[in-house]
Structure 1
């Protein structure tokens, strides 16, 4: 696994992941009352947090994108 996620990208991914998890499980917005939107937001939030933690994005690897300095 090659590191391809930089620091700023990592922070943004982590913040977006936490925000999506909070919206999915803590928010009382009507959009997140339904099952599909709620669990889709939770799944995307978990993926964002995991990619921020391991500093590797599979989609970046496919397209050859690197946001980190080497």
Structure 2
């Protein structure tokens, strides 16, 4: 797993992931009264947080993208 996420993208992923994971529990929006949307938001948020922590995104690697200036090694 060669890191393929740059610093800026890592910060964005961590912040967005934390917001998505917490939003259903603190927002009070009627949108999140459905369990489907609550779980979907939490799962997407956790995936963003994990990829931000590991600095590796499998989807970016499959597409051959890298935001840290290095090519993805397989």
Same fold (TM over 0.5): yes
SS at match of 2:5: coil
| TM-score, structure 1 normalization | 0.94
How far apart in 1 are the matches of 2:63 and 2:22? 30
Cα RMSD of the aligned pairs, angstroms, is: 0.9
Gaps of 5+ in 1: none
How far apart in 2 are the matches of 1:33 and 1:26? 12
1:5-53 Cα deviation digits (max 9, x unpaired)? 0000000000100110121222200001110000000000000000000
Gaps of 5+ in 2: none
Measured after TM superposition, the shift of residue 69 of structure 1 is 3.2
Q: 2:67 aligned with 1:32, yes or no?
A: no
